[in-house]
Structure 1
Amino acid sequence: MRFDLVTLNLVLAIAETRSITRAADREHLALAAASKRLKDLETRLGVQLFERRARGVEPTEAGRALVRHIRSLNASLHALESEVVEFSRGIKGHLRIAANAAAIAEALPADLATFSREHPQIRISLEDMTSANVQSAVAEGRADVGVFAPPLVDQRLATWPYRAGELAVVLPQGHALARARGGLRFDALLDCDMVGLHIGASVHELMLQRALERGRTLNARLQVRGFDAIAQLVGEGLGVAVLPAVVAERFAKLFAIQVRPLDEPWARRRYLLAAQAQEVLPAVVQRFIDLLAGLAAASESTAPLTGANP
């Protein structure tokens, strides 16, 4: 069965505008022609794609499935066009990476620099997303590679182990918990106001889950975007926070905060590399994953032994 892009984009427009009339106008089609295209497509597929409701048309389950595939197709076509155009500029590929904030702050910069030095003709773009959004972006073709913190929730992905990171507790200077020696248990934080990232961020979701397991709630007083904002707010005494240890130690040199290890098994996290599950990966994606996974493995094999949990 063959599909034409005009009809597929019309279906997408109908889904987004909830109107055949507005969709036809957006796609520069006569209303009669748009209606015929939709009817012919439904006849060929043998399913109804839209239902008429009081407030417009709504996609059926089959319609929503088709729209997901159209969006993925459009993303692939856009990537194809961008990559082919870049060949004329001497660039031999374009790698779109989506990663969560912690992975960007803890691990990626040096590894991206290594990859760029070895492949100077491959252009890299990097977007900061939550771990859940990273997975959907890769699965739907809006990104070529993802880096995120588990759990893996999208089974359309193939994953590879990447680097490990530690979480730490960030406290205002002089805070009562800062007097304790060694690490802090998560229970000790549940009576405190928390400063953290927005809903959907992996650390926030992890703490929510652990609090619920204890029958407690998380006192999320302030939620912001950016680790630097969290460190500044903690430094002003507005709460405590849990951040990647590398990031926390970096900000301890700039703001009035103290850092303590988080004494929990889940405080040590392993980031994952992800790509769409397919038999053969695009060459540039395979090179990137091979390099980063290899760098991570080499780093672990040469790291000194500590008392940390594996």
Structure 2
Amino acid sequence: MSIRLEMLRAFSVTAGQGTLAGAAAVLGRTPSAVSMMLAQFEQEVGGPLFETDRKNRLTPLGQLVLEESLRATDVFDKSVGAIRRHVLTSAGIVRIAAVPSATVTLLPDVIEVFRRAHPDVRIEISDVDSATVRARIQRDEADIGILSAQPGDPLEGERILSDDLGIVCAEGGPIHKAHLATDGASDWGLLRLEPLIANPLCELVDDPHVDQMRLASTLEARNTTAILSFVRRGFGVSILPFDAVRNQPDGVEFFVPTQSVSQRELRKIKQEKELLRGPVFDFWSLLNE
């Protein structure tokens, strides 16, 4: 008998659960069936994988085998997932992980054009921050990632567009009034007049006032719609790109400080060695049009 994938999976699940009963529940097998499979696996490996019969402590050999088992089952699961995605519909599927501002402003126009050519393609969009975009691409949980980056940073992916970062505040609030009083010659120091609703884009602004306010913030949000709602309710002010607020709702104002102007770039990323095909390639190409 040779080592089979189901042995690797049974072992890694048992090691994670710590008991035969827990592993059996996850695998949909009886505890005795799991125990028998583990015994066969240890015989094939040539040594004990658990310190005791309780299955809650691994031997040094078991630690090594666990790492390889997880690696093997992960590769298998990704391959199966890719095959299933390909046959999910007759047309295919496009999985996108994007920062909220891109979801609100960039993707609707792209999707409108894309669906004219691919009306039957399934589109799945995850609205997440830049760090999660990277993670989902690396884990093959998305085909295309769209993230925010600071111009001048080491290149990551391909640039889609750039726009100015600015302060979004409530109409008639302290910061809005102070901005009007400066005749447009304002700086990021105005943020001291109101609480800051922090979000990951604040980190792209290279200004000490923003750094101080971000560290002192007691409210953080990552969704553009939520941030605008909080600003409108008077919870504070935030920093967003112009493109995200060009059609801002009533009661909200946006301006770009004239001193220490900061920008953000939207960039598209994919797995480094991934060759895009079919609908995914078409969507990738449309992002720059």
Name the SS of the counterpart of 1:74 in structure 2: helix
- Counterpart residue type for residue 260 of structure 1: F
Partner of 2:163: 165
- Contact 2:163–2:241, Cα closer than 8 Å, also in 1: yes
Aligned residue pair count:
275
Gaps of 5+ in 2: none
- Render the CA deviation track for 1:167-204: whole Å, top value 9, x for unaligned: 2211222333323333643343256311244xxxx315
- Report deviation, 1:231: 2.1
Change beyond 3 A, Cα 1:177–1:137: same
Name the SS of the counterpart of 1:218 in structure 2: helix
User: Aligned partners of 1:264 and 1:71: how far apart in 2?
Assistant: 50
- Contact 2:198–2:214, Cα closer than 8 Å, also in 1: no
- Contact 2:11–2:38, Cα closer than 8 Å, also in 1: no
- Render the CA deviation track for 1:128-164: whole Å, top value 9, x for unaligned: 111111111111111111111137xxxxx98222222
* Residue correspondence of structure 1 range 134-145 to structure 2 within 5 A: 134-145=133-144
Change beyond 3 A, Cα 1:258–1:119: same
User: Aligned partners of 2:55 and 2:118: how far apart in 1?
Assistant: 52
Question: Of the candidates 281, 284, 288, which is equivalent to residue 286 of structure 1?
Answer: 281
- Contact 2:110–2:287, Cα closer than 8 Å, also in 1: yes
- Report deviation, 1:23: 1.5
Partner of 1:271: 266
TM-score after normalising by structure 2? 0.76
- Contact 1:191–1:219, Cα closer than 8 Å, also in 2: no
Partner of 1:230: 227
Query: Root-mean-square deviation (CA), in Å?
Result: 3.9
Change beyond 3 A, Cα 1:182–1:74: farther
User: Aligned partners of 1:288 and 1:32: how far apart in 2?
Assistant: 48
User: Aligned partners of 1:188 and 1:72: how far apart in 2?
Assistant: 51
Partner of 1:97: 96
Question: Of the candidates 175, 178, 191, which is equivalent to residue 177 of structure 1?
Answer: 175
Structure 1 position 81 matched with structure 2 position 78: no
TM-score after normalising by structure 1? 0.71
Change beyond 3 A, Cα 1:264–1:7: farther
Change beyond 3 A, Cα 1:217–1:110: closer
User: Aligned partners of 1:94 and 1:57: how far apart in 2?
Assistant: 42
* Residue correspondence of structure 1 range 1-310 to structure 2 within 5 A: 4-14=4-14, 16-27=16-27, 28=29, 30-36=33-39, 38-39=41-42, 43=45, 56-57=56-57, 60=63, 63=66, 67=70, 70-71=73-74, 73-87=76-90, 92-150=91-149, 159-178=157-176, 179=180, 180-182=182-184, 184-190=186-192, 192-197=194-199, 202-206=200-204, 218-224=215-221, 226-251=223-248, 253-254=249-250, 256-263=251-258, 267-278=262-273, 280-293=275-288, 295=289
| Stretch of structure 1 that moved more, 158-167 or 7-16 | 7-16
- Contact 1:150–1:272, Cα closer than 8 Å, also in 2: yes
Change beyond 3 A, Cα 1:292–1:224: closer
Question: Greater share of strand residues, 1 or 2?
Answer: 1
Gaps of 5+ in 1: 152-156, 296-310
- Counterpart residue type for residue 193 of structure 1: P
User: Aligned partners of 2:6 and 2:50: how far apart in 1?
Assistant: 17
Change beyond 3 A, Cα 1:222–1:145: same
User: Aligned partners of 1:191 and 1:292: how far apart in 2?
Assistant: 38
**Which of structures 1 and 2 has the bigger CA Rg?**
2
Name the SS of the counterpart of 2:197 in structure 1: strand
